[in-house]
Amino acid sequence: AQSVTQLGSHVSVSEGALVLLRCNYSSSVPPYLFWYVQYPNQGLQLLLKYTSAATLVKGINGFEAEFKKSETSFHLTKPSAHMSDAAEYFCAVSGGGSNYKLTFGKGTLLTVNP
Amino acid sequence: NAGVTQTPKFRVLKTGQSMTLLCAQDMNHEYMYWYRQDPGMGLRLIHYSVGEGTTAKGEVPDGYNVSRLKKQNFLLGLESAAPSQTSVYFCASRLAGGPREQFFGPGTRLTVL
């Protein structure tokens, strides 16, 4: 079975600081990995996805993530936080025996302080 | 394209009442999903469908039923609502092939008193 662990349910950064949101996964087969963002009272929007091409994936709004197989990690970063980045972020994995499904982490709430 | 739409946006039920949530997508996606989102729990899969006329159970199916009579629609039913079903419900869809990205609707906030 596949699973996702997001370290830190709440991360707080200052505007202009580095954003680092951590995601570790387990999967018995090479996975597809995703980061989604959810703004208050909205649905989930795809930020970026890893599909076994380049290990460094660039997404929308200046976010990127690096797939590290040896560490089973897919951490999300952004060099300089903006107030508009305040939202909840979800890491998800697809793969293994049930290719229909995405397994989500519990989410990390990002707060950006002025 | 409207993408994935959900009806209604909000609903308040009394314990024991029934209701149906409607999800519609105009992207010709084969797969559709219903999730519930609760604080600190992430998204949990209730039921899903890989094609018209087919449905399958997800992680938390008890108390819910679904139907996929048309490719573009996926209905979620609560036959006898319970307070434990108070949640935000999201519908999602995706293509059968490709990189398996799911597209989400805006959600339905359900309160059961």
* pLDDT for residue A96: 55
As given in the structure block, the two tokens for residue B67 are 């139907």
- Distances, alpha carbon A114 to alpha carbons A10, A111, B62, in Å: 17, 10, 44
Cβ of B105 within 8 Å of Cβ of A49? The answer is no
What SS3 class is residue B103? strand
Rounded to a whole number, what is the distance in Å from the CA of B62 to chain A's nearest CA?
18
Following DSSP, what letter does each residue of B33-85 receive, concatenated?
Answer: EEEEEETTTEEEEEEEEEETTEEEE-SS-TT-EEE-SSTTEEEEEESS--GGG
pLDDT exceeds cutoff 60 at A62:
yes
Cβ of A105 within 8 Å of Cβ of B99? The answer is no
- Distances, alpha carbon B89 to alpha carbons A8, B26, B86, B104, in Å: 24, 19, 9, 11
Half-sphere exposure of B109 (CA within 13 A, CB side): 6
* pLDDT for residue B110: 97
> Looking at A1-10, A16-25, A55-64, A77-86, which range is the least confident one?
A1-10
Contact residues of A toward B, CB < 8 A: 9, 32, 34, 36, 41-46, 49, 51, 90, 94, 99-102, 104-107
How sure is the predictor about A80, in pLDDT bands with cuts at 50, 70 and 90? Answer: very high
What SS3 class is residue B98? coil
* pLDDT for residue A30: 74
Rounded to a whole number, what is the distance in Å from the CA of A1 to chain B's nearest CA?
12
What SS3 class is residue A13? strand
pLDDT exceeds cutoff 60 at B67:
yes
Q: Give A64's contacts (C-beta < 8 A, 6+ positions apart).
A: A48, A56, A57, A58, A76, A77, A78
Q: How large is the average pLDDT for residues A21-38?
A: 90
pLDDT exceeds cutoff 70 at A37:
yes
How sure is the predictor about B40, in pLDDT bands with cuts at 50, 70 and 90? Answer: confident
* pLDDT for residue B99: 67
* pLDDT for residue A98: 55
Cβ of B106 within 8 Å of Cβ of A42? The answer is yes
Asked if B65 and B77 touch (Cβ cutoff 8 Å), the reply is: yes
- pLDDT, one tens digit per residue, over B100-110 is 789 999 999 99
Cβ of B31 within 8 Å of Cβ of A100? The answer is yes
Asked if A3 and A103 touch (Cβ cutoff 8 Å), the reply is: yes
pLDDT exceeds cutoff 60 at A97:
no
Q: Give B52's contacts (C-beta < 8 A, 6+ positions apart).
A: B68, B69, B70, B71
What value does the mean pLDDT of chain A take? Answer: 91
Cβ of A34 within 8 Å of Cβ of B48? The answer is no
What value does the mean pLDDT of chain B take? Answer: 94
Reference A84, options A52, A40, A46; nearest CA is: A40
Q: How large is the average pLDDT for residues A47-57?
A: 88
pLDDT exceeds cutoff 80 at B98:
no
- Distances, alpha carbon B86 to alpha carbons A17, A107, B110, B111, in Å: 37, 19, 5, 5
Q: How large is the average pLDDT for residues A37-61?
A: 91
- pLDDT, one tens digit per residue, over B70-87 is 999 999 999 999 999 999
